[in-house]
């Protein structure tokens, strides 16, 4: 069988350690295996769960590392006094100003790092500089600013005397990698168009003993290529194993990880620690995005990465991974696909979607749900069958331009409800989005409020969270973060 990879779309470790198979420490993840696990907390939600409730939920589940996509003070304050290790981030649209102004970099570090590093403060450990800035889909927009921004932030951390405590890294999508003509993990190298940038970036990371951060999406490999063998996305063996010399790859995570190991080695950084900055599986919005697949993937993933197996090129020791993601986010762009709002292991309101053993032992145990969650009143908006049906389509379209109707799409949890069910779902999402505002269930006489839960089967008609402060913000700018448009495309011939 033939396979090839196409990538498109958008230190302190020592040599002795390399020879020891059971060396867990060197690759960056130390201590008990459960400490190798982190989670991404994105906040692109119309009704975000209050930060203190989220932090309690993290603690109740023994989650000890969290990666954020910005440095929102309302989120950061909630971590005060907890031991949770936090990664704060600089969004791509701030890279240019930070790249061109050391003052801006100093201010960013002072406001978003230093001020929290006090007794009883926040355990900030990493700064993510940009989010997948070299994604092919960005057409080089951040190509010239990423490395200078990283350098400025590193210097600011150094000047603030924090260089040992807080490390700066750049989360990159797996599309920075290519396998050339041989199409094997061992042939891994960095994409031609970013070779100079990658060399500088690696030197900076190395000089500061910072990890390389890579986002890997087996789900996207599968979703974007109908010929991708499904079992290669999972971890329980594959009928499509990839044989690379003496190494056999049974899953795409190991293959991409080692593609990176080989690329780092080829560039002269064989021992650079690697973090998997994002990895996960969505539960809705696509045929392959469902609760059963997500549970299978995440459960097997944790068993695999938290074991001492490692990968063929880096055997021994757990991998350091950050699950994507903590909760669903209804304001995410659906440009990558209708699955995009549905990556959470928890729903938007902090309910576990499926049993998951975060210790990697694969037990059938439930996550601990959020407590003290406050909801809007138990009221739903549904289709009024006596309304003027000639106006239905435009009203449904209106509701869905604002509210998240992705569960109605093909292969999704609410796809088989028929026209009236569709309309009710759309109307309710809009009604909840607007905090059940009086006139928001009107829809030219087509909507009516009910106190009977219209949920059926897998289709949940949700009630939104009661917001203590910030009212609903219109979903005007749906920008970042993409979950990584395209990871690795395996074509099977
Ligand atoms: C969290 O860790 C503590 C101490 O290690 C343990 O007793 C507890 O059972 C763990 N809780 C969960 C939900 O894993
Ligand atoms: C700190 O981070 C926040 C949130 O990402 C951002 O709005 C703010 O501009 C940053 N502060 C500075 C001084 O750059
Ligand atoms: C980046 O720099 C190169 C070489 O100086 C230049 O050709 C290119 O236009 C720049 N890209 C952007 C987005 O500014
Ligand atoms: C790293 O590169 C050297 C040659 O520079 C090669 O001998 C070695 O096998 C490579 N190791 C890995 C893990 O790719
Ligand atoms: C896991 O536990 C739940 C209830 O705790 C049960 O309904 C389910 O069947 C169990 N699944 C397996 C695979 O044992
Ligand atoms: C319900 O809405 C979805 C998404 O707009 C659409 O794909 C589906 O065909 C609709 N079903 C019916 C019966 O109209």
Range of the domain at 483: 380-491
133, 215: one domain: yes
Express each pLDDT in 122-154 by its tens digit: 999 999 999 999 999 999 999 999 999 999 999
Query: Does the C-beta of 461 come closer than 6 Å to ligand 2?
Result: no
115, 232: one domain: yes
Q: For residue 103, what are the CA distances in angstroms to 108, 159, 170, 173, 308?
A: 8, 12, 20, 29, 44
Query: Does the C-beta of 417 come closer than 6 Å to ligand 6?
Result: no
Pocket of ligand 5 (CB under 6 A): 355, 364
Which residue among the candidates 278, 320, 329, 464 is catalytic per the annotation? 278
| 405, part of any domain | yes
Given the structure tokens 């986010």, which residue do they identify?
A: 329
322, 427: one domain: no
Query: Does the C-beta of 140 come closer than 6 Å to ligand 3?
Result: yes
Residue 183 belongs to domain with CATH number: 3.20.20.80
Express each pLDDT in 410-437 by its tens digit: 999 999 899 999 999 999 999 999 999 9
Last residue of a domain, one of 316, 342, 368: 342
303, 393: one domain: no
What one-character-per-residue DSSP string does 360-400 give?
SS----PPPPPSS--B--S-EEEE-TTS-GGGHHHHHHHHH
Mean pLDDT of the chain: 89
- The tokens for 353 are 């979607």
| 368, part of any domain | no
Percent of the chain scoring above 70 in pLDDT: 88
Answer yes or no: is pLDDT of 64 > 70: yes
Q: In terms of C-beta distances under 8 Å and separation of at least 24 residues, what long-range contacts does 421-425 make, across chains too? A: 421/456, 421/459, 422/396, 423/383, 423/392, 423/395, 423/396, 424/380, 424/381, 424/382, 424/383, 424/454, 424/461, 425/459, 425/461
pLDDT of residue 18: 28
pLDDT of residue 11: 21
Query: Does the C-beta of 141 come closer than 6 Å to ligand 3?
Result: yes
Answer yes or no: is pLDDT of 492 > 80: no
Query: Does the C-beta of 419 come closer than 6 Å to ligand 6?
Result: yes
Ligand 2 atom 12 nearest Cα: 108
Ligand (nearest to CA of 416) = 6
Ligand (nearest to CA of 365) = 5
> Can you tell me which atom of ligand 4 is nearest the CA of 186?
14
Query: Does the C-beta of 148 come closer than 6 Å to ligand 3?
Result: no
From 62, 63, 356, give the residue whose CB has the most ligand 1 atoms within 8 Å, as the site to mutate.
Answer: 62
Ligand (nearest to CA of 393) = 6
Query: How confident is the model over 171-191, as a mean pLDDT?
Result: 95
Percent of the chain scoring above 90 in pLDDT: 84
Q: Is 85 one of the catalytic residues? A: no
95, 167: one domain: yes
> Can you tell me which atom of ligand 2 is nearest the CA of 72?
4
Handedness of CA 200, 205, 207, 208 (dihedral sign): positive
| 289, part of any domain | yes
193, 93: one domain: yes
Lowest mean pLDDT among 124-133, 160-169, 484-493: 484-493
> Can you tell me which atom of ligand 6 is nearest the CA of 396?
5
Answer yes or no: is pLDDT of 17 > 80: no
| 355, part of any domain | no
Kindly give the distance from the C-alpha atom of residue 283 to the centroid of ligand 6, in angstroms, as a whole number: 19
Kindly give the distance from the C-alpha atom of residue 358 to the centroid of ligand 5, in angstroms, as a whole number: 16
Ligand 3 atom 2 nearest Cα: 144
438, 326: one domain: no
Give the predicted TM-score (pTM) of the model.
0.91
Ligand (nearest to CA of 96) = 3
- Calpha distance 166→157 (Å, rounded): 7
Ligand 5 atom 2 nearest Cα: 364
pLDDT of residue 237: 87
From 405, 411, 415, give the residue whose CB has the most ligand 6 atoms within 8 Å, as the site to mutate.
Answer: 415
Residue 451 belongs to domain with CATH number: 1.20.58
330, 466: one domain: no
Q: CA-based Rg of the chain, rounded to a whole angstrom?
A: 23
207 Cβ neighbours under 8 A, 6+ residues apart: none
9, 139: one domain: yes
| 76, part of any domain | yes
Express each pLDDT in 309-354 by its tens digit: 999 999 998 999 999 999 999 999 999 999 999 999 999 999 999 9
pLDDT of residue 30: 56
Kindly give the distance from the C-alpha atom of residue 60 to the centroid of ligand 1, in angstroms, as a whole number: 8
Tell me how many domains the chain contains: 2
- Calpha distance 247→182 (Å, rounded): 15
Q: Is 278 one of the catalytic residues? A: yes
| 363, part of any domain | no
Query: Does the C-beta of 59 come closer than 6 Å to ligand 1?
Result: no
Last residue of a domain, one of 320, 342, 364: 342
Ligand 4 atom 12 nearest Cα: 262
109, 30: one domain: yes
pLDDT of residue 182: 86
Answer yes or no: is pLDDT of 202 > 60: yes
| CB distance 304 to 250 below 8 Å | no
| 283, part of any domain | yes
- Calpha distance 157→150 (Å, rounded): 11
Query: Does the C-beta of 70 come closer than 6 Å to ligand 2?
Result: yes
| 369, part of any domain | no
Which residue among the candidates 15, 35, 85, 132 is catalytic per the annotation? 132
φ, ψ (nearest 5 deg) of residue 44:
-85, 65
| CB distance 24 to 198 below 8 Å | no
Answer yes or no: is pLDDT of 33 > 80: no
E strands along 144-297, which residues?
A: 167-169, 171-173, 177-178, 189-190, 212-215, 242-244, 247-249, 274-279
- The vertex-83 CA angle with 367 and 30, nearest 5°, equals 85
308, 454: one domain: no
pLDDT of residue 27: 43
- Calpha distance 303→237 (Å, rounded): 13
334, 391: one domain: no
Ligand (nearest to CA of 422) = 6
Query: How confident is the model over 74-99, as a mean pLDDT?
Result: 97
Query: Does the C-beta of 392 come closer than 6 Å to ligand 6?
Result: no
Query: How confident is the model over 273-300, as a mean pLDDT?
Result: 97
Answer yes or no: is pLDDT of 26 > 90: no
Last residue of a domain, one of 342, 362, 390: 342
């Amino acid at each position: 069988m033939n396979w090839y990879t196409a990538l498109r779309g958008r230190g302190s470790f020592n040599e002795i350690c390399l020879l020891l198979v059971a060396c867990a420490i060197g690759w960056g993840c130390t201590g008990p295996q459960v400490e190798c696990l982190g989670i991404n907390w994105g906040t692109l939600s119309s009704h975000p769960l209050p930060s203190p409730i989220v932090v309690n939920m993290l603690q109740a589940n023994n989650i000890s590392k969290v990666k954020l996509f910005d440095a929102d003070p309302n989120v950061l304050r909630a971590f005060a006094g907890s031991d949770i290790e936090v990664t704060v981030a600089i969004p791509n649209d701030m890279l240019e100003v930070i790249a061109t102004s050391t003052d801006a970099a100093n201010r960013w570090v002072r406001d978003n790092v230093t001020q929290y590093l006090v007794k009883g403060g926040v355990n900030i450990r990493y700064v993510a500089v940009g989010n997948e800035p070299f994604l092919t889909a960005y057409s080089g927009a951040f190509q010239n600013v990423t490395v200078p921004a990283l350098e400025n932030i590193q210097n600011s951390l150094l000047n603030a005397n924090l260089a040992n405590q807080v490390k700066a890294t750049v989360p990159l999508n797996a599309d920075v990698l290519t396998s050339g003509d041989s199409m094997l993990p061992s042939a891994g190298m960095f994409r031609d168009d970013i070779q100079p940038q990658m060399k500088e970036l690696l030197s900076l990371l190395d000089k500061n003993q910072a990890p390389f951060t890579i986002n890997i999406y087996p789900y996207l490999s599968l979703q974007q290529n109908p010929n991708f063998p499904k079992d290669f996305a999972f971890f329980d063996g594959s009928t499509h194993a990839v044989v690379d010399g003496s190494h056999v790859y049974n899953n795409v995570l190991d293959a991409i990880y080692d593609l990176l190991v080989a690329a780092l080695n080829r560039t002269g950084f064989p021992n650079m620690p690697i973090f998997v900055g994002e990895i996960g599986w969505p539960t809705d919005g696509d045929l392959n995005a469902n609760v059963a697949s997500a549970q299978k993937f995440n459960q097997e993933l944790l068993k695999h990465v938290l074991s001492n197996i490692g990968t063929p090129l880096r055997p021994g020791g757990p991998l350091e991974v950050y699950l994507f993601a903590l909760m669903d986010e209804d304001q995410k762009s659906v440009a990558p696909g209708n699955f995009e709002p549905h990556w959470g292991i928890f729903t938007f309101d902090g309910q576990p979607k499926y049993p998951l053993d975060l210790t990697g032992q694969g037990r059938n145990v439930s996550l601990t749900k959020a407590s003290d969650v406050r909801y809007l009143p138990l009221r739903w908006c549904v289709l009024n069958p006596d309304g003027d049906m000639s106006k239905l389509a435009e009203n449904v379209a209106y509701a869905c331009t604002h509210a998240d109707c992705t569960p109605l799409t093909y292969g999704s949890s609410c796809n088989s409800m028929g026209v009236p069910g569709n309309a009710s779902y759309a109307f309710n999402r809009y009604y909840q989005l607007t905090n059940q505002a009086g006139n928001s269930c009107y829809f030219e006489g087509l909507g009516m409020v009910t106190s009977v839960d219209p949920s059926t089967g897998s289709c949940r008609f949700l009630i939104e969270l009661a917001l203590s402060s910030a009212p609903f913000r219109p979903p005007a700018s749906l920008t970042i973060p993409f979950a990584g448009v395209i990871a690795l495309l395996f074509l099977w011939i």
